[in-house]
Amino acid sequence: MLLAALLAAAALAACTPLKEVATVVEKIAADLPSEDDTMTSLVEITRIIEDAMSRGETEITYSATGVSEDDLKNIGKNLSSFWGKPVQYTINSEFKNLDSVVPGQVVDVQNITNIIELSDNYYIYRYMRTGTPIPGDRPQAQEIADALDKIIVDLFPDGPLTDYDKALAVHDWLVLNIEYDDEMREQSENNTSYGAIISGRTMCMGYAEAFELMLKCYTDVEVVQISGDAVNSVSETWAGHAWNAIKLDGFWYHVDVTYDDPKGDSDDFISRFYFGQSDEVMEANHRWEREYFPTCTRGDFLYFRQSGLFAADWESFEVIFKALFADSPFTNIELAVRGDTADKDNLQFIYDVVPGAEEIWWSENNWRDINVYNIEVVYSE
């Protein structure tokens, strides 16, 4: 179709001998990619680069149309860093402008080559899945692999575990064993799976990479890393952030391990507020380019619903709380409840139910029209 259009337009526009026009157009057409092989958006380019990295390729060449050089310079913004990152690119635009052949028509095709730097995660994954030795110039990758083999023994005990159980176990291990370090530089080597698993200190990228690495190496759970922005809980400003999405029983859910690991948490309490959330809930304090990542529309508050800790209203919350405490008294618990306002009137009954109750904490976040609060009760026995 492209060749025929070029041929017809050139012949009509310039009374050039048909044979001569055909020769020129055939030469051009021979160097142009087929329509099926031409990338038409950054989303497509991002996906083929991620696929190439997952296969261990360090260079990929493709053709694209309608993509600017500024776009290519910023291609890493919505590209998961799990497998690696593109570090250099070149553009061959020899056939970008064809005005001399077809008056008034520009065929915007660029031949692009990306040079890729693979991450330690690629070599660890390949080693765990296929037994391929980790290269000697990747000592940190080998250190992570050796550590994971020991960690996973306790993380996944013998016996049947669902994908949900495995993903939650990895989430909980990371929350308990990592300290968020907000003084770390974002480009630090510790802002990776190495910082999370070996150093025990990292930022959001390290949490997200470690979560993905452990699930990819030891489970069949589909997991991806999401890059975007989130509201900083201290400054209340938007800043770059990374988290994950996982696929369970055919549906995608958000998981933000970083947000579930606040400063000052204790080893006997794990927040799971951000384990299994929908787009609707996450968009209250997260933002991301939706077309690059899976859509998460299957309900919200997966952990709380799975565990019987989600209340549809304050009356239900009181029933659930009393039943849980009567069955097994606890020193702290995290519940989610949908209601208009979290206040002392709704929570006063707890002081009668829990002997020696000292404090009742709850989030003040108003999830737009959702109005769901997570409640934590702490007391001394």
For residue 190 the two structure tokens come to 């510790």
Structural domain containing residue 266 = 121-289
Q: What CATH number does the domain containing 143 carry? A: 3.10.620
| 270 and 228 housed in the same domain | yes
Residue 149 located in a structural domain: yes
| 273 and 136 housed in the same domain | yes
| 142 and 113 housed in the same domain | no
How many structural domains is the chain composed of?
Answer: 3
Residue linked to tokens 């970083």: 258
In contact, 216 and 223? CB cutoff 8 Å: yes
pLDDT in tens, 153-210: 889 887 789 999 999 999 999 999 999 887 776 556 788 999 999 999 999 999 999 9
| 132 and 256 housed in the same domain | yes
- pTM here is 0.82
Residue 299 located in a structural domain: no
Name the 3-class secondary structure at 130: helix
Of 299 and 221, the structure prediction assigns the larger pLDDT to 221
Q: What CATH number does the domain containing 333 carry? A: 3.30.110
Sign of the alpha-carbon torsion through 340, 342, 348, 354 = positive
CA–CA gap between residue 97 and residue 33 (Å, rounded):
15
Residue 7 located in a structural domain: yes
| 112 and 177 housed in the same domain | no
pLDDT in tens, 171-185: 999 999 999 887 776
| 97 and 151 housed in the same domain | no
Residue 329 located in a structural domain: yes
Residue 296 located in a structural domain: no
| 107 and 127 housed in the same domain | no
| 127 and 260 housed in the same domain | yes
In contact, 272 and 171? CB cutoff 8 Å: yes
Of 12 and 222, the structure prediction assigns the larger pLDDT to 222
